[in-house]
Amino acid sequence: MHTIRVDTPSAKYDVITGSGLLGTLAPRIVRVAGKLPRRVFVLTSPEIWALWGDVFLKSFSDPPITLFLAPGEKHKTMQSVEKLLRQMITAGGDRGSLLIAFGGGIVGDVGGFLAAIFMRGIRYVQVPTTFLAQVDSSVGGKTGVNLPEGKNLVGSFHHPVAVLADIDVLGTLPDRELRAGLMESIKAGIIRDRSLVRFMEENSDEVLDRDSRALEKVIAASIRMKAGVVNRDERENGLRMILNLGHTVGHAIEQATRYKVLLHGEAVGWGMIASLYVAHRRKSITGAQAARLENLIHLYGPLPTLKLRAPKLIAATGGDKKNVDGVRRFVLPVGIGDAGVIEDLTSAELHAAVSYMLSQAKEPRA
Amino acid sequence: MHTIRVDTPSAKYDVITGSGLLGTLAPRIVRVAGKLPRRVFVLTSPEIWALWGDVFLKSFSDPPITLFLAPGEKHKTMQSVEKLLRQMITAGGDRGSLLIAFGGGIVGDVGGFLAAIFMRGIRYVQVPTTFLAQVDSSVGGKTGVNLPEGKNLVGSFHHPVAVLADIDVLGTLPDRELRAGLMESIKAGIIRDRSLVRFMEENSDEVLDRDSRALEKVIAASIRMKAGVVNRDERENGLRMILNLGHTVGHAIEQATRYKVLLHGEAVGWGMIASLYVAHRRKSITGAQAARLENLIHLYGPLPTLKLRAPKLIAATGGDKKNVDGVRRFVLPVGIGDAGVIEDLTSAELHAAVSYMLSQAKEPRA
C-alpha cells in the first residue's frame, strides 16, 4: 500500500494505491469525508459494475445510488452530463451529497465534472479502474467532457477528497488497455524519474504479467510524479505543461482518427516518438537516449499502425487547447528524467517529426 | 463613482459603480487584466446590444466577438451553454481568452458559467445592465444555469476579474424591473444596513425617478453589503446564507408559477413578507418593525398578485437547494439590520407564513 499526498493551494488529499481497497471503500471514505451523507452517488460503467459491483457494495450499509455512463468517448458529452445531473436531482441529491467516480478515465472525467457543477460543487472520490486512470487522470483535479469540435474542451479544476486506486481491479483489464496505460508511466519516467525508466526496462515481463509487486511499484511511482508536478503547478500555468509530453501530436492523432482507432495511451505513445525526434534534433537528448526511449515505448507496445497523412495530422495540432494565444508550445524531454516546454516549434520541425513517426507507424513492427 | 473590494480566499477584485463606465470599458479592463488577448468575447442579449452596443464598442480598437443569448429563463439552459461554448471554439477561443458578460442576471450567470468551464476556466468581466444584476447577481462569483427540475441547479463558483456597473445603462431599464431589483436592496438593508432602510424609506421618490445620486447611493450600499458578506463566507457555508432572506419562499413562488409570472425580485419581495411573518412570530422582530418593513416593500411595489394555493407553494419549497441533508433552513431578520438562519422551521410556521403572504397577494393593494 502506498499513500501519496496531493497538496495544492485549493485542495489537500491522499492518493492511495494497493490491494484490497475496493472491499473497504465505505470506512475509507468516512475517514476523509466524515459520516456519509443522505445521498451517495456512484457513477460507473455497466461493464465495471457487472464485474466489480458486488465487491464495491460490500462495505456500504446503505447502497449508493447507481448512475451509469455508457462506455466510449462518444458519451463523454454535455448531453450525458445534463442527463446525469437531472438523475441526481430526481434522486434527491443536494449540496451535501457525495459522488464516487468508479471506472476508467472517462467515468472519472465526467464524474469529476458532475461533482464540480452539481449545485455549484459537491465532494467526490475517485476510484479509478483502469491503469491509465490510476496513474494519470484520477490525480490532479482535471475534469470535463468533449465538444464535437474537440476533446476536453469543457471542464473544471475540481479535486476529489480522495483517490483510491485498487490494483486488484486491474485483473480484469484487457491487455491492450494495460499496455496503453503504461505509456503514461513511460512518460512519467521520461520527464521526471529515470529510475522508473530503468525499472520498466528491466521488469517489462513482470509488469505486463501483472505481477502485483511490479505493478504497484510502477503505479506508485507514476502517481508520485504526477502529484509532485500538480503540487507545484495546480492550474497548468507552467511546470504542469510538461505532463503533456507526447500529447500535442497524440491528441492530433486521436482527433484525426475521430477517437475511434486508438486508445489515448497509444496515441500518446506515438506522440512521444514524435517528441523524441524533435528533442534529438534540438540536442536536448542524445541519439542514444532517443533510441533507448523509443525502444522502451515499443517494449510496451505494440502501438497500432496509423494510416494518416502528415498534413492532416499537422492541421489537427492547431486546435489543441494547450496553445495559449496561438503560441506553438511543445514539450521536449531533456535527457532522461527531465523535460521542458518550448514555444517556438517551427512548422518544419513539426512536419519532420510527424513524418518520422508516421513512417514507423505505417506497418506493424517486426 | 464607488469602488468596493471583493476579497475572498480564491479571488480579489473591484466592483466599480458610477456613470460613464460603459464608454471606457477597454482601458478599465486592461488595467485589471493586462493587455487584451487575441480573442475577447462579449455575451449579451439582442435587446441590450441594440440599445447599448455602440457605447460598449467605443473604447475597443478591436471589437470583441459578440455572442448572443436570447432573453428569458427558458434560455438559461445547458443546451444554450453548449451552443455558446461551441461558438467560442469555432471563433478561435483559447485558454487566454477573456469574456465580458454584458446584460442582466441571466447573461451574467450564463456568461460566468461559460467562463468557468470553457477550457477549464478563463477570465471574465461582469458588466451588469439591470439593477438586480448590479446590486446582486454580478457580485459573489455564483454562476450557473437551470435544469428542467429547478433553477440554478448547475453551476460553479467562479469570480470575475472585475465588475463594472454603469448606472447610466439603467436609463433604459423598464420601471417594473427597477422596482423588482430594488427588492434586493431592501433585503440588503434588512439583513445588514439599517441606514439603507431609512434612506430608502425617505427617498423613494428620488430612487424610483432614477435620480442618479440616489440610485448610486442605493446601489453602492447594496453592493457593499453583498461584498462584505461574500468576503466573510465565499462558499455559502454560513453567513452567506443570510443573503437568502425571502428566497426560500421566493424560489417556490417562481417554481410554482414556472418562472413566467413574476420577476425574481418580485418573488423575493413576497418571500420577504413571509419571512417577516415568521420573524415576528418568533419575536426576532417586533410587530412595529415587521409593519415598517412590510410597508417599505410595498412602497417599492406593486408586487404582482398571486393566484396560488398554499399546499402547492409549500411543496415547492422542498426542492430548494439551500436545504442541506433535508434540514429546513430559513433566514429570519433579527431587528432591522441583522439576520440569522434557523434550522428548525416547522411545517406549521411555514404554512402560516405562506397563508399570510398569499392573503395579501390575492388582490391588488389599495
Domains contained in chain A, CATH given: 2-172 (3.40.50.1970), 175-361 (1.20.1090.10)
Q: Please list, in sequence order, all residues whose beta carbon lies within 8 angstroms of the beta carbon of residue B31, skipping any fewer than 6 positions away.
A: none
Residue entry with cell 471506472: A103
Calpha distance B267→B291 (Å, rounded): 19
User: B98: which strand partners?
Assistant: B40, B123
Q: Nearest by CB to B38, from A81, A119, A326: name it.
A: A326
**What pLDDT shows up at residue B325?**
46
**Backbone phi, psi, residue A162, to 5°:** -165, 155
Average pLDDT over residues A158-166: 97
* Alpha helix segments (H runs only) across chain A: 25-33, 46-57, 78-90, 105-117, 131-132, 175-192, 194-202, 204-208, 212-232, 247-256, 264-281, 287-299, 310-317, 347-361
- For residue B324, the model assigns a pLDDT of 46
Number of neighbouring beta carbons within 10 Å of residue B109: 24
Quick check: B38 and A323 CB within 8 A?
A: no
In DSSP terms, B101 is beta-bridged to: B43, B126
Q: Å from A88 to nearest chain B CA?
A: 10
Q: Which of B94, B121, B324 sits opposite A325 (nearest CB)?
A: B94
Which 8-state DSSP code applies to residue A134? Answer: I
Residue located via cell numbers 460490500: A58
What's the pLDDT at A72?
87
Prior bond to A63 cis, omega within 30?
A: no
Q: Average the pLDDT over A314-341 and give the result.
A: 77
d(C-alpha B16, C-alpha B22), whole Å = 11
Residue B128 CA: distances (Å) to CA of A37, B42, B106, B111, B140: 37, 12, 10, 11, 13
- Angle made by CA atoms A300, A208, A304, in degrees to the nearest 5: 35
Instruction: State yes or no: is B74 an active-site residue.
Output: no
pLDDT at A35 over 80: yes
Helix, strand, or coil (residue B174) = coil
Residue B30: predicted pLDDT: 97
Is B2 among the catalytic positions? no
Q: Is B12 on the interface with A (CB under 8 A)?
A: no
> Rounded to an integer, what distance in angstroms lies between the CA atom of residue A228 and that of residue A192?
10
Nearest to B90 among A142, A144, A149 (CB): A149
Task: Determine the Cα angle at A208 with ends A206 and A214, to 5°.
Answer: 40
Per-residue pLDDT at A316? 85
Give pLDDT, residue A324.
46
Dihedral of alpha carbons A159, A162, A166, A169, sign: negative
Please give the C-alpha separations between residue B145 and each of A146, B50, B113, B208, in angstroms, as whole numbers.
19, 24, 8, 30
Mean pLDDT of A203-215: 95
Burial class (CB in 10 A: 0-12, 13-18, 19+), B346: exposed
Q: Mutate which of B87, B154, B230 to test chain A, going by most A C-beta atoms within 10 A? A: B154
Strand partners, B341: B331
CA distance A285 to A339: 10
Query: For residue B8, which amino acid is it?
Result: T
Positive or negative: CA dihedral A92, A98, A103, A104: positive
The residue-averaged pLDDT of A18-34 equals: 96
One-letter amino acid identity for B20? Answer: G
Give B233 to chain A, closest Cα distance, Å: 15
Cell output for A21: 481497497
Is B325 in contact with A154 (Cβ distance < 8 A)? no
Which whole number is the average pLDDT over A353-366? Answer: 90
Residue A284, classed as helix, strand or coil, is coil
Predicted confidence at residue B322, as pLDDT, reads 52
pLDDT, residue A322, reads: 52
Q: What is the pLDDT of residue A325?
A: 46
Per-residue pLDDT tens digits for A101-138: 999 999 999 999 999 999 999 999 999 999 999 998 88
A46-97 confidence digits (pLDDT tens): 999 999 999 999 999 999 999 999 998 899 999 999 999 999 999 999 999 9
- For residues A123 and B200, what is the distance between their CA atoms, to the nearest angstrom? 42
Question: Catalytic one among A35, A120, A283, A307?
Answer: A120
The pLDDT value given to residue B151: 85
Q: pTM of the predicted model, to two decimals?
A: 0.90
Strand pairing report for A142-147 and A150-157: antiparallel
Residues in chain A within 8 Å Cβ distance of B147: 82, 85-86, 89
- Pairing of the two strands B12-18 and B2-7: antiparallel
Among this protein's residues, is A240 annotated catalytic?
yes
Q: Which residues of chain B have pLDDT under 50?
A: 320, 324-327
